[in-house]
């Protein structure tokens, strides 16, 4: 869809030419003046409304995010945040603050997506049960054919691992460096998969593909230290993101799954 058409549906004036932006692995993203327009040729129903709810939840928790101007099934119109200088300490304090706010349980009452993958809508007070049944098992089932001989050992590992739990908080849910903006007003987060879970989910994704320098981690630990049992479990938590990449992008990510299983002695 033409991004100008979404601006028209939002009742917003067209602003300048449509400039493609990075971040369109599963859709298209443009800047038009003060707006960012995201569309998808065939989005799962509820994808963009879920993104808007996630941004609103993060904002309510004190995280800087772009304002949502309009959202519909066919796309979303966001505020454009002009770039600024890197401020890793400020980013760390913001994320640590998010991870300090307790929640009453795990999960979500509304649809939420990891990429285009729709996650189960459910609530629980038992982290291990929720994490294995409501997050890992659906991805295991979806990627089983591509996992091949890894499926059995992986399923045994998921069921047998002692997943550490510190208590539920709101997590961004897809916190890789590409979803961080160093904006003029300060660091901001975009493209959430927001639900209530363990902060280890965010920490694992931040460690998986890198991009967060030691200055970030030192500032984060100064506010919200990571206990040894959580630190040791981060490779295991990375399976969540590795599985969704196997599902969408193929066998190139199986090496990461093998690495995790070998790390814990399951291969």
pLDDT digits (tens, 9 = 90+) for 171-192: 999 999 999 999 999 999 999 9
Q: Which of 191, 184, 190, 198 is nearest to 229 (CA)?
A: 198
| Distance from C-alpha of 205 to C-alpha of 174, rounded to nearest angstrom | 7
- Structure tokens belonging to residue 140: 């295991």
The token duo for 75 is 């796309």
The mean-pLDDT minimum among 29-43, 46-60, 153-167, 187-201 falls in 29-43
Burial class (CB in 10 A: 0-12, 13-18, 19+), 32: buried
Q: Binning pLDDT at 50, 70 and 90, where does residue 132 land?
A: very high
pTM strictly above 0.85: yes
Domain residues of the chain, as ranges?
A: 3-79, 88-263
Those residues with Cβ within 8 angstroms of residue 236's Cβ, 6 or more apart along the chain or in another chain: 157, 161, 163, 204, 260, 264
Q: Which two tokens stand for residue 211?
A: 């991009």
Active site residue 174: yes
**For residue 23, what pLDDT band results from cuts at 50, 70 and 90?**
low
From the candidates 2, 25, 86, 174, give the one annotated as an active-site residue.
174
Cα separation, 163 vs 132, in Å, equals: 9
> Would the pLDDT of 97 be above 80?
yes
pLDDT at 203: 98
For the domain spanning 88-263, the CATH number is 3.90.1200.10
Q: List, for residues 234-261, the tens digit of each pLDDT value.
A: 999 999 999 999 999 999 999 999 999 9
Domain at 3-79, CATH class: alpha beta
């Amino acid at each position: 869809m033409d991004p100008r058409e979404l601006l028209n549906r939002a009742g917003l004036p067209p602003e300048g030419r449509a400039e493609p932006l990075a971040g369109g692995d599963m859709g298209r993203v443009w800047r038009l003046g003060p707006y960012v327009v995201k569309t998808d040729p065939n989005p799962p129903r509820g994808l963009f409304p879920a993104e808007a709810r996630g941004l609103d939840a993060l904002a309510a928790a004190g995280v800087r995010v772009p304002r949502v101007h309009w959202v519909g099934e066919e796309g979303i119109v966001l505020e454009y945040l002009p770039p600024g200088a890197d401020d890793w300490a400020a980013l760390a304090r913001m994320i640590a603050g998010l991870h300090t706010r307790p929640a009453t349980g795990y999960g979500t009452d509304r649809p939420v997506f990891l990429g285009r993958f729709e996650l189960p809508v459910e609530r629980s007070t038992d982290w291990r049960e929720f994490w294995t049944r409501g997050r890992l098992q659906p991805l295991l089932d979806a990627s089983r054919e591509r996992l091949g001989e890894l499926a059995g050992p992986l399923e045994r590992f998921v069921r047998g691992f002692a997943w550490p739990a510190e208590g539920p908080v709101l997590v961004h849910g897809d916190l890789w460096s590409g979803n961080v903006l160093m904006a003029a007003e300060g660091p901001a987060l975009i493209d959430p998969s927001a639900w209530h879970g363990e902060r280890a989910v965010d920490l694992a994704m931040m460690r998986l593909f890198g991009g967060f320098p030691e200055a970030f981690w030192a500032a984060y630990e100064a506010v919200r230290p990571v206990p040894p049992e959580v630190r040791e479990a981060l490779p295991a938590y990375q399976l969540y993101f590795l599985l969704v990449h196997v599902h969408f992008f193929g066998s190139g990510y199986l090496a990461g799954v093998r690495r995790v299983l070998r790390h814990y002695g399951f291969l």
